Amino acid sequence: MVPQRRCQRVRATGILVLLLTATFVTPAVGKNISTLPIPQQGKASLTHYDLTLGALASCGCSTGSTYFPTAALSQAAYGSSLASGPACGQCFNLTLLQTYGATPEWLLNDEQRRNASVVVKITDKCPAPPLYDPDKTWCGATASKPNKAGFFLHFDVSSPSPAIPLSFFPVNASYGYNDFGSWIVDFEQVPCERWAGWGNQSALGLDASLTTQSGCCPANPLSDNSVCPAFSLKAAASHLRIAPTAAALVLLAFANSLVFIA
What mean pLDDT do residues 43-49 have?
97
Task: Report the SS3 class of residue 252.
Answer: helix
Determine, yes or no, domain membership for 2.
no
What CATH number does residue 123 fall under? 2.40.40.10
Largest CA distance in the chain: 57
Q: How is residue 107 annotated by DSSP?
A: B
The tally of domains found in the chain comes to 1
Determine, yes or no, domain membership for 212.
yes
Please give the Cα distance from 33 to 235 (Å, whole number): 11
- pLDDT range class, residue 25, cuts 50, 70, 90: very low
Please give the Cα distance from 9 to 50 (Å, whole number): 7
Size of the chain in residues: 262
Determine, yes or no, domain membership for 65.
yes
pLDDT at 82: 85
- pLDDT range class, residue 7, cuts 50, 70, 90: low
Pairing of strands 183-190, 258-259: unpaired
Q: Pick the more confident residue, 73 or 141.
A: 73
Q: How many CB atoms lie within 10 A of CB 35?
A: 11
Quote the domain boundaries for residue 208. 8-259
Whether the per-residue pLDDT at 241 is higher than 60: the answer is: no
pLDDT tens figures, 176-221: 988 999 999 999 999 999 999 999 999 999 999 998 888 999 999 9
| Integer angstrom CA distances of residue 208 from 7, 31, 190, 205, 256 | 29, 32, 26, 9, 19
Determine, yes or no, domain membership for 103.
yes
What is the residue type of 218? P
Which regions of the chain does DSSP assign to beta strands (E)? 8-9, 41-49, 70-74, 91-99, 117-126, 154-158, 183-190, 258-259
Please give the Cα distance from 221 to 26 (Å, whole number): 29
Q: Among residues of the chain, what percentage have pLDDT more than 70?
A: 73
Determine, yes or no, domain membership for 175.
yes
- pLDDT range class, residue 14, cuts 50, 70, 90: very low
pLDDT at 162: 94
Task: Report the SS3 class of residue 113.
Answer: helix
pLDDT tens figures, 70-105: 999 999 999 988 889 999 999 999 999 999 999 999
> pTM here?
0.79
Please give the Cα distance from 98 to 112 (Å, whole number): 10
- pLDDT range class, residue 238, cuts 50, 70, 90: low
Of 33, 65, 67, nearest to 230 by C-alpha is 33
Determine, yes or no, domain membership for 101.
yes
